[in-house]
Amino acid sequence: MRIALINGSPKLNNSNSAFMLKGLETFISTGNDIIHYTINRNPLTEEQYLELCGMDILVIAFPLYIDAIPSHLFRMFVTLEEYMKTERKKDIYVYAIANNGFYEGKQNHIAFEIINNWCLRCGLHFGQGIAQGGGEMIGFMEKVPLGHGPLKNLGNTMKALAANLQARQTEPSALFSPNFPRFAWRFAATHFFWNASAKKNGLNKKVIRKRL
Ligand SMILES: Cc1cc2nc3c(=O)[nH]c(=O)nc-3n(C[C@H](O)[C@H](O)[C@H](O)COP(=O)(O)O)c2cc1C
């Protein structure tokens, strides 16, 4: 089968979405033709849009932005919709892999509805979405094998997604949190991720807390 892996993160490097796609690829690389797409530097070309219309499966990985999808991904959807309406020759199944900053993966349910509605407009089948909360933790877990420790839910769900995808099956979406206590995640995210990122960008706690 021809499978498109689309990374919908605007990050240029080391996105959590890329990590998730890499994990999925380990389960589906045998016997399938896998083509990677990114939209973080440039929009897709006409040739790439036409190529997507000839896929058996589209996998779209993205970060949750304001309870929805990032705007550059939305723009890609709007353009791809026009191509799908005129150029699609066969049934295409769409699977989504979301991750978000808050602990609860269930926050991605509106984003999946957006993708489901887009599929309906294009005449595509929405197969399933999987969503991981505490997404920024993923970048620190490169050495942890999928399906173990904090990535236990992610690994198990990813495996099930890979099976559904290869059978072109429709299943209910799975939205979950990391296998890590919420309070510990909150502490680590605040001190080692958000504050550290703020410092790197020349901000301090006082500036962040300032009410405008
Ligand atoms: C503009 C913006 C909006 C965001 N909105 C949300 C949100 O509504 N809910 C949430 O849980 N996380 C939100 N996040 C956090 C991202 O979803 C999170 O950092 C994610 O892990 C990034 O994934 P990526 O590395 O694949 O881009 C937002 C981040 C940015 C930059």
pLDDT tens string 43-88: 999 999 999 999 999 999 999 999 999 999 999 999 999 999 999 9
pLDDT given at position 95: 98
Number of C-beta neighbours around residue 157 at 10 A: 22
Write down the residue that tokens 């978000």 correspond to: 100
pLDDT in tens, 7-56: 999 999 999 999 999 999 999 999 999 999 999 999 999 999 999 999 99
pLDDT in tens, 92-128: 999 999 999 999 999 999 999 999 999 999 999 999 9
Question: To test ligand 1's pocket by mutation, which of 13, 64, 67, 141 has the most ligand atoms within 8 angstroms of CB?
Answer: 64
Q: In whole angstroms, what is the distance from residue 35 CA to residue 190 CA?
A: 36
Question: To test ligand 1's pocket by mutation, which of 66, 109, 142, 185 has the most ligand atoms within 8 angstroms of CB?
Answer: 66
Tell me the pairing of strands 33-38 and 57-63: unpaired
Residue 101 CA, distance from chain mean position = 12
pLDDT given at position 210: 85
Residue 7 Cβ contacting ligand 1 at under 6 Å: no
10 CA closest ligand 1 atom index? 27
Residue 132 Cβ contacting ligand 1 at under 6 Å: no
pLDDT given at position 168: 97
pLDDT in tens, 157-186: 999 999 999 999 999 999 999 999 999 988
Task: Assign 34 to helix, strand or coil.
Answer: strand
pTM: 0.94
Q: Which residues of 84-121 are buried (b: 16+ CB within 10 A; e: fewer)?
A: beeebeeebbbbbbbbbbbbebebbeebbebbbebbee
Residue 9 Cβ contacting ligand 1 at under 6 Å: yes
For residue 212, pLDDT beyond 80:
no
Q: Which helix (H) or strand (E) holds 23?
A: helix 16-28
Question: Mapped to the 3 state alphabet, what secondary structure does 124-147 carry?
Answer: CEEEEEEEECCHHHHHHHCCCCCC
Which parts of the chain are beta strand (E)?
Answer: 2-7, 33-38, 57-63, 93-99, 125-132, 174-176
Ligand 1 centroid, distance to 193 Cα (angstroms): 13
